[in-house]
């Protein structure tokens, strides 16, 4: 296979081997040091260091852009795939993304990219937490209509104040 550019090499070989869009973003962030330079021995050797730096930065920006344009429902599916690939439960994986948001960005990511990415990661984490709460409620059990008690009629489960307490002290007549 003949590749026309370092960017094409990264897209068609390196990133094609990484499972999940969020894992691709993670992988590119991993290749970047604190100064914003990238380190990929194979790409640098084949295409030269300058071309590798430019191509890795462009690939990183493209993957970030793709993440930010992907519907949250598809990203939720991707979290499952990416977390499995990372060997972590989905909620733990999403939590790690929230904490690593600034380091996941390419150099010069564009105005608003960091808060947008952080909000996407927070939304994914919130959805995963809601799913785990919903999974703990049996499907045959339904919440009662608003205003209706969860307790059977006549069962206060010790929740009512004893007579002669708070209501009378406040000058209110006791509730029936």
37-106-42-39 Cα dihedral, nearest 10 degrees:
30
Compare 46 and 150 and report the one with higher pLDDT: 46
The DSSP secondary-structure symbol of 71 reads: -
Please check whether residue 11 lies inside any domain of the structure: yes
Please check whether residue 77 lies inside any domain of the structure: yes
Please check whether residue 147 lies inside any domain of the structure: no
Give pLDDT tens digits for 61-94.
999 999 999 999 999 999 999 998 889 999 999 9
Give pLDDT tens digits for 134-156.
666 555 556 566 666 656 666 55
φ and ψ of 32, to 5 deg: -95, 135
Please check whether residue 159 lies inside any domain of the structure: no
Count of structural domains, the chain? 1
Average pLDDT, whole number, for the chain? 84
Which domain covers residue 53, as residue numbers?
Answer: 6-135
d(CA 144, CA 26): 43
d(CA 117, CA 159): 44
Please check whether residue 170 lies inside any domain of the structure: no
Please check whether residue 67 lies inside any domain of the structure: yes
Please check whether residue 174 lies inside any domain of the structure: no
Please check whether residue 97 lies inside any domain of the structure: yes
Does the model's pTM come out above 0.85?
no
């Amino acid at each position: 296979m003949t590749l026309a550019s370092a960017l094409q090499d990264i897209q068609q070989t390196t990133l094609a081997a990484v499972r999940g869009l969020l894992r691709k973003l993670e992988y590119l962030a991993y290749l970047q040091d604190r100064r914003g330079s990238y380190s990929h021995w194979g790409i640098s050797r084949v295409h030269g260091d300058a071309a590798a730096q430019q191509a890795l930065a462009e690939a990183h920006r493209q993957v970030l852009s793709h993440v930010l344009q992907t519907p949250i429902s598809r990203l939720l599916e991707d979290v499952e795939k990416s977390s499995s690939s990372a060997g972590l439960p989905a909620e733990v994986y999403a939590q790690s993304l929230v904490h690593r948001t600034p380091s996941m960005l390419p150099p010069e990511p564009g105005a608003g990219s960091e808060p947008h990415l952080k909000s996407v990661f927070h939304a994914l984490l919130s959805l995963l937490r809601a799913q785990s709460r919903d999974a703990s409620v049996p499907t045959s059990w339904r919440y009662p209509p608003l205003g209706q008690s969860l307790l059977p009629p006549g069962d206060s489960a010790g929740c009512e104040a004893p007579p002669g307490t708070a209501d009378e002290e406040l000058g209110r007549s006791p509730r029936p």
